[in-house]
C-alpha cells in the first residue's frame, strides 16, 4: 500500500523557506495594478420556475447556456457581450419515448447533448450534435452504450473535460451495494468525437465502497477517479488511519490500472483535490489536521508518475508561524496546537511555469461571518511550498439555508459550479471567483466586499448587504506579491453579482452572473496580466 509520507524535510525545507522570504523582502510589497475591464449585458428575465442556469461553452463570437424552467430544458446562444440572440427547447422525446438529459458539452467547437433512456431492464446513453447556428439537432439521437440492470442496480453517468478541453471522458458506473462489486465503462474521445480508447472492468470493494467521486481526464487521455472510501467516526479515534480516499487511475490508453490509497498515518485528511499535469502526471494536494483535533494544521502534496505509477514529490507542510501570526492580526481564532478552524479546499490550479496553487476558504457553519479568509499556497515545480498568502475576505452568509438542498456546506461551491443550480430562496453573493488563465503564472480573485472598506479603514467591515458592495479584485503574482483594486461598485437599479457561480473561459476572461428577483444579467471581466 502506498501512502503519503509523513516525512517533512527539516533543514532543506526551512532553508528554502528562508531563501524565499529573503527574496520577497527585496520585492515591492504590491505588484502593479492589473488592467481590468468590466462590461455588463442587458438585463433579462428568469422564469419563476428556473432551477438551472449555466454557461456551458463559448467560441470566438458566442456563449452558450443551458437552462431549466417551465419543466423544460433550453439552450441559449448569446453574443460576445452576453446578450441573448436565440433560445430553443431541448427535445427529449420521440413520440411516446422520453429521455433524461445528462449533460450538454461544448467540445472542439461543437455542441453535444447527452441523454439517457431507462427501460425495464437496461439504460441507454445517447448523444446528439446541435447545430450552433440555430440550436437545432443535426441528427437523431445516436446510441453510445447500452447497460443492463444488474440485480436492480442501474448505471449512472459522469462527464469530464481535460484542462485544455482536448479530451472528453464519459464514465458509466454501476455499483452493487449488496454484492460489493462495481462495474465500469470508460470512453475517452478526442477531436471530431473520435474514440481514443474505451475499457470495461469491475472490482470488489468493502464497506460503503467508492463514493463522492471526482473524475479527471488529462491531455494524454489518462483517467483518474478520486473516491471517498471511509469517513472519520467515533471508532476512528482508535485507528491510526482516519479519513481514507482512493485514486483509481487508468493510463496507457486504458491498458494499465492502479489503485492509490490516499491516507495520512496519525493525521486526519481534511480535504483532497486532484488535477492532471501537462505531461500525464497526476497532481494531488489537500489539507490535514493533527490527531484528536478538529481544525487544519497544514497541507500535503504529492504527484503520481505518468508511466511507472510511482508516487513522488511527496511532502507534508505545516502552516508557518508567519502565516499564523498574520491570521492572528486579523483576529481569526486559532485553536490549541495552532490549528485553523473550518478551512476547506476550493481550488487547485496548475500555472504556466509549472507551479501549483492551492486555495482554501474558511467556512464557519453559522449564520454570520461564514465565508472568511482565503489561504493561497503556491508549490514549486517539485512540490515544496514556495509561498503562502492570506486574503482577508469577511462575508456573512446564512449557511443554514443550505439544509434544504441536501448538500454539505463544504461541497456547496463545487455543487453550484457543476450543476448551475438556482434556488430562489438562497442568495449566493459570498465566496469568490477565480481567474487563472492557462498561459499565465498569476491569478486574480474576485469577491463582493463592503463599500465602506474602500476608504481603507483600520478594520474591514463584513460584507452582508449587496446594495452596499463592490467587487474587489485581488491579484497575486508568481512571487506571491499582492495588489488589489475595486472593479465594479454597485449602483442603483443594478443587479447583484454572485461570484460563486462564475464561468472561467480558460484564458483571461471570466463571466459572473448577477440576479435580483427574476431579473439577471452577466458581468464579463477581462484582465491584462
Pull the grid cell for residue 25.
523582502
Quote the Cα angle for 301-305-311, to 5°. 45
Residue 257 has pLDDT above 90, yes or no: yes
CB–CB of 488/523 below 8 Å? yes
What's the rounded Cα separation, in Å, for the pair 194 and 395?
46
CB–CB of 287/345 below 8 Å? yes
Q: Where are the beta strands (DSSP E) in 132-194?
A: 136-137, 142-148, 156-161, 168-176, 181-189
Is residue 1 situated within a structural domain?
Answer: no
Is residue 4 situated within a structural domain?
Answer: no
What's the rounded Cα separation, in Å, for the pair 291 and 428?
34
More confident residue, 125 or 14: 125
Range of the domain at 503: 11-528
What is the reported pLDDT for 287? 95
What is residue 455's three-state secondary structure?
helix
More confident residue, 231 or 291: 291
Residue 13 has pLDDT above 90, yes or no: no
What is the reported pLDDT for 145? 97
What's the rounded Cα separation, in Å, for the pair 83 and 406?
33
Mean pLDDT confidence for 390-411: 91
pTM above 0.85, yes or no: yes
More confident residue, 209 or 382: 382
Mean pLDDT confidence for 180-187: 95
Is residue 6 situated within a structural domain?
Answer: no
What's the rounded Cα separation, in Å, for the pair 155 and 200?
13
CB–CB of 149/121 below 8 Å? yes
Quote the Cα angle for 165-166-171, to 5°. 80
What is the reported pLDDT for 293? 79
22 confidence band (pLDDT: 50, 70, 90): very low
Pull the grid cell for residue 150.
444488474
What's the rounded Cα separation, in Å, for the pair 465 and 414?
24
Q: Where are the beta strands (DSSP E) in 322-418?
A: 334-335, 339-340, 343-350, 356-363, 371-379, 385-391
What is the reported pLDDT for 290? 86
Residue 422 has pLDDT above 80, yes or no: yes
Residue 131 has pLDDT above 60, yes or no: yes
Is residue 3 situated within a structural domain?
Answer: no
How many C-beta atoms lie closer than 10 Å to residue 25's C-beta? Answer: 8
Pull the grid cell for residue 339.
490549528
What does each C-alpha distance from 147 to 42, 70, 179 come to in angstroms? 45, 31, 18
What's the rounded Cα separation, in Å, for the pair 208 and 334?
34
Pull the grid cell for residue 414.
463545487
What's the rounded Cα separation, in Å, for the pair 310 and 359?
26
How many C-beta atoms lie closer than 10 Å to residue 338's C-beta? Answer: 17
In the chain, the percentage of residues whose pLDDT exceeds 70 is 91
Identity of the highest mean pLDDT range in 6-10, 170-174, 205-209: 170-174
- Per the structure, the count of domains in the chain is 1
CB–CB of 498/428 below 8 Å? yes
What is the reported pLDDT for 14? 44
For residue 273, the cross-strand partners are 285
Is residue 294 situated within a structural domain?
Answer: yes
Pull the grid cell for residue 17.
523557506
More confident residue, 1 or 308: 308
Nearest to 444 by CA among 480, 474, 483, 489: 474
How many C-beta atoms lie closer than 10 Å to residue 384's C-beta? Answer: 17
Q: What is the dihedral of CA 182, 183, 189, 193, to 10 degrees?
A: -130
Give tens-digit pLDDT for 334-380. 876 678 989 999 999 999 999 999 999 999 988 888 999 999 999 99
CB–CB of 290/264 below 8 Å? no
Q: What is the dihedral of CA 40, 43, 46, 48, to 10 degrees?
A: 120
2 confidence band (pLDDT: 50, 70, 90): very low
Is beta strand 195-204 parallel, antiparallel or unpaired with respect to 211-217?
unpaired
Is residue 296 situated within a structural domain?
Answer: yes
Residue 253 has pLDDT above 50, yes or no: yes
Residue 384 has pLDDT above 90, yes or no: yes
What is the reported pLDDT for 292? 77
Amino acid at each position: 500500500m502506498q501512502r503519503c509520507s509523513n516525512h517533512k524535510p527539516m533543514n532543506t525545507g526551512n532553508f528554502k523557506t528562508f531563501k524565499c522570504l529573503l527574496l520577497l523582502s527585496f520585492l515591492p510589497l504590491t505588484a502593479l495594478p492589473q488592467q481590468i475591464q468590466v462590461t455588463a449585458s442587458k438585463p433579462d428575465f428568469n422564469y419563476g420556475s428556473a432551477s438551472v442556469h449555466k454557461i456551458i461553452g463559448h467560441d470566438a463570437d458566442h456563449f452558450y447556456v443551458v437552462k431549466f424552467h417551465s419543466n423544460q430544458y433550453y439552450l441559449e446562444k448569446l453574443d460576445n457581450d452576453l446578450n441573448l440572440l436565440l433560445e430553443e427547447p431541448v427535445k427529449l422525446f420521440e413520440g411516446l419515448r422520453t429521455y433524461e438529459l445528462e449533460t450538454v458539452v461544448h467540445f472542439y467547437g461543437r455542441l453535444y447533448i447527452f441523454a439517457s433512456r431507462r427501460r425495464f431492464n437496461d439504460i441507454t446513453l445517447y448523444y446528439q450534435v446541435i447545430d450552433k447556428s440555430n440550436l437545432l439537432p443535426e441528427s437523431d439521437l445516436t446510441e453510445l452504450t447500452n447497460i443492463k440492470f444488474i440485480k436492480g442496480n442501474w448505471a449512472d453517468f459522469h462527464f469530464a473535460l481535460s484542462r485544455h478541453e482536448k479530451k472528453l471522458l464519459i464514465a458509466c458506473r454501476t455499483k452493487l451495494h449488496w454484492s460489493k462489486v462495481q462495474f465500469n465503462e470508460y470512453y475517452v474521445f478526442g477531436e471530431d468525437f473520435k474514440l481514443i480508447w474505451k475499457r470495461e472492468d469491475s472490482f470488489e470493494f468493502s464497506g460503503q465502497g467508492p463514493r463522492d467521486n471526482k473524475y479527471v481526464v488529462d491531455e494524454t487521455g489518462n483517467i483518474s477517479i478520486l473516491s471517498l472510501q471511509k469517513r472519520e467516526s467515533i471508532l476512528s479515534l482508535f485507528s491510526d488511519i482516519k479519513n481514507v480516499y482512493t485514486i483509481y487511475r487508468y493510463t496507457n490508453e486504458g491498458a494499465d490500472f492502479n489503485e492509490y490509497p490516499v491516507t495520512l498515518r496519525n493525521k486526519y485528511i481534511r480535504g483532497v483535490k486532484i488535477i492532471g499535469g501537462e505531461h500525464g502526471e497526476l497532481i494531488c494536494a489537500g489539507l490535514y489536521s493533527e490527531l484528536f483535533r478538529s481544525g487544519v494544521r497544514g497541507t500535503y502534496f504529492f504527484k503520481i508518475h505518468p508511466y511507472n505509477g510511482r508516487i513522488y514529490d511527496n511532502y507534508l507542510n505545516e502552516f508557518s508561524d508567519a502565516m499564523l501570526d498574520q491570521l492572528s492580526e486579523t483576529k481569526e481564532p486559532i485553536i490549541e496546537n495552532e490549528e485553523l478552524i473550518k478551512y476547506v479546499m476550493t481550488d487547485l490550479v496548475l500555472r504556466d511555469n509549472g507551479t501549483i496553487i492551492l486555495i482554501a476558504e474558511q467556512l464557519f457553519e453559522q449564520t454570520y461571518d461564514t465565508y472568511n479568509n482565503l489561504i493561497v499556497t503556491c508549490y514549486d515545480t517539485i512540490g515544496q511550498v514556495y509561498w503562502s498568502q492570506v486574503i482577508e475576505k469577511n462575508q456573512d452568509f446564512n449557511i443554514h439555508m443550505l439544509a434544504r438542498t441536501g448538500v454539505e456546506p463544504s461541497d456547496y461551491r463545487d455543487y453550484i459550479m457543476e450543476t448551475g443550480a438556482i434556488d430562489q430562496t438562497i442568495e449566493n453573493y459570498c465566496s469568490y471567483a477565480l481567474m487563472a488563465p492557462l498561459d499565465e503564472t498569476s491569478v486574480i480573485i474576485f469577491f463582493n466586499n463592503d463599500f465602506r472598506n474602500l476608504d481603507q479603514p483600520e478594520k474591514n467591515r463584513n460584507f452582508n448587504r449587496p446594495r452596499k458592495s463592490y467587487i474587489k479584485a485581488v491579484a497575486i503574482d508568481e512571487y506571491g506579491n499582492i495588489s488589489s483594486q475595486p472593479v465594479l461598485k454597485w449602483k442603483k437599479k443594478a443587479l447583484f453579482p454572485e461570484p460563486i457561480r462564475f464561468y472561467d473561459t480558460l484564458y483571461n476572461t471570466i463571466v459572473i452572473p448577477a440576479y435580483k428577483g427574476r431579473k439577471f444579467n452577466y458581468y464579463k471581466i477581462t484582465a491584462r496580466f
